């Protein structure tokens, strides 16, 4: 299992609009990517957002970064302050309920 975490600095007050657009558009796109397992958008406060994409394999996690970059450019570029900080790799420990 592989995950990609993208941390975004967002423009002041933009998180609600980003959340709306992600729920209405990006979630359905990323969920169709090969090996998709889960996607989360986190409002971290202080005009910071983070996403976590989880895939069965590394190729899916890497593709999610390309998909996210293209979607952000096309839909919410004016709401974010620069490119995301990306952390990606193999999930080496996990537990679910």
Q: Mind listing the domains of the chain with CATH numbers?
A: 2-90 (3.30.70.100)
What 3-state DSSP class applies to 13? coil
Alpha carbon distance 39, 52 (integer Å): 6
Q: What is the mean pLDDT of residues 73-84?
A: 96
At 9 the pLDDT is: 97
- Torsion, Cα of 15, 18, 19, 23 (10° steps): 180
pLDDT at 92: 98
* Confidence band of 7 (pLDDT split at 50, 70, 90): very high
Alpha carbon 17 to its chain's center: 15
- pTM for the predicted model, two decimal places: 0.92
Interatomic CA distance for residues 77 and 47, integer angstroms: 15
């Amino acid at each position: 299992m592989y995950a990609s975490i993208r941390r975004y600095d967002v423009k002041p007050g933009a998180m609600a609009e980003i959340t709306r657009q992600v729920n209405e558009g990006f979630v359905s796109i990323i969920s169709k990517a090969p090996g998709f397992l889960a996607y989360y958008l986190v409002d971290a406060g202080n005009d910071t957002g983070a996403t976590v994409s989880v895939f069965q394999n590394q190729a899916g996690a890497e593709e999610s970064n390309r998909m996210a970059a293209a979607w952000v450019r096309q839909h919410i570029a004016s709401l974010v302050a620069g490119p995301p900080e990306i952390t990606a790799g193999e999930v080496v420990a996990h537990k679910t309920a």
